[in-house]
Amino acid sequence: MDSISEVIINAVEHSKNAVVKIDCFKSDGSKSTAAGSGSGFIFSSDGYIFTNAHVIQQAEKIKVQLIDGRETQAEIIGKDPDSDLAVIKIYEHNLSVSKLGESSNLRIGQYVIAIGNPFGYQHTVTAGVVSALGRTLRSITGRMIDNIIQTDAALNPGNSGGPLINTSAEVIGVNTATIMQAQGLCFSISINSAKDIANMLIRDGRVRKAFLGVNMQDVNLHQRVINFHHLENRRGIYVMSIEKNSPAEKAGLREGDVIVDFNGTLVNSGDELFRLLNKDRINMQSSIKIIRKNSEMISMNVVPIEKAA
């Protein structure tokens, strides 16, 4: 057997037992009717499971099926439609647990593997490469989800909420969406963003976030710009568009600006900025530094608001 196949097989063997099938139901008079299905993966020994918010969006009852055949009812801990992430919990013993990785270490061209339950076919495995990093995707609420991983590992309905793993069997993304009219355009939420969301959902049952109102993408900084401004950054956050009447618009940000610093902290990626835009920054004046198209460094103040529930 070739070495690449052996690596993928080994990664799947170490990961598949933590992947679950999720079936959702809602009441229809005196009976329950199916309200969708998807995938998830256990990330703690006490039964916490990652999935997508859209998988459980209409659920009044959730049934989880483990790889060993056990079926059990799950409780919704919290969901965040803006990021399309949700945490549910089951109360079972002897659970296999996914190893969570570090999405900031990903490289374009790196092998990745998706495990899920497309169209009910349990524990289906597909493989591909990381096609792009730092993408932005519109969520079910219409908000933009930043730091999306684009991959050509095939995803289909039912894969949603399942893990995207690397060849070391570490989860580096939560599979979330495909572009149905295209081939090989599949997307996953970075696990770094997902871990931050999970902590808030487990603690508060919801996510309180500060909101700037920009559509962003991670970019490399030109060495000339780095040298001219004596930057420690190697990357920045490119402002693709700005929402009307948003804090970003009021502060004076423009399309094409590249954010390199937020409130005195260097930011190389949307993941880093997202972590800084926590509930403590809501309605608090913060400084922001950007590189404008003419390579001019500009500092301005912005007052993030709380993102509407």
List helix spans (H) across the chain: 3-15, 191-204, 223-229, 247-251, 270-276
Residues 155, 113 contacting (CB under 8 angstroms): no
CA distances from 277 to 16, 17, 122, 211, 305 (A): 34, 35, 37, 7, 10
- Secondary structure (3-state) at 271: helix
The token duo for 237 is 């956050």
pTM above 0.85, yes or no: no
Q: What is the CA radius of gyration of the chain?
A: 20
Residues 55, 160 contacting (CB under 8 angstroms): yes
The token duo for 132 is 């792009």
- The number of angstroms, rounded, from the C-alpha of 5 to the middle of its chain's C-alpha atoms is 27
CA distances from 217 to 19, 57, 148 (A): 30, 28, 9
Tell which residue, 164, 167, 166, has the closest CA to residue 176. 164
The residues, any chain, with a CB within 8 Å of residue 38's CB and separated by 6 or more, are 22, 24, 51, 52, 55, 56, 116, 117, 158, 159, 160, 161, 162
Predicted local confidence at residue 81, as pLDDT: 86
Read off φ and ψ for residue 277, nearest 5 degrees.
-85, 60
Task: Tell me the one-letter amino acid at 20.
Answer: V
CA distances from 267 to 86, 167, 198 (A): 26, 28, 22
Domains of the chain by range and CATH? Answer: 16-89 (2.40.10.10), 99-204 (2.40.10.10), 210-306 (2.30.42.10)
Per-residue pLDDT of the chain (309 residues; tens, 9 = 90+): 788 889 889 999 999 999 999 999 988 777 878 778 889 999 999 999 999 999 998 888 999 999 988 999 999 999 988 888 999 999 999 999 999 999 988 999 999 999 988 776 678 899 999 998 988 777 776 666 778 899 988 888 788 899 999 999 999 999 987 665 556 678 899 999 899 889 989 988 888 878 899 988 889 999 999 999 999 999 999 999 999 999 999 999 999 999 999 999 999 988 788 778 888 899 999 999 999 987 899 999 999 998 765
Residues 126, 165 contacting (CB under 8 angstroms): no
CA distances from 199 to 79, 189, 193, 212 (A): 12, 16, 10, 22
> Which residues carry out catalysis?
54, 84, 160
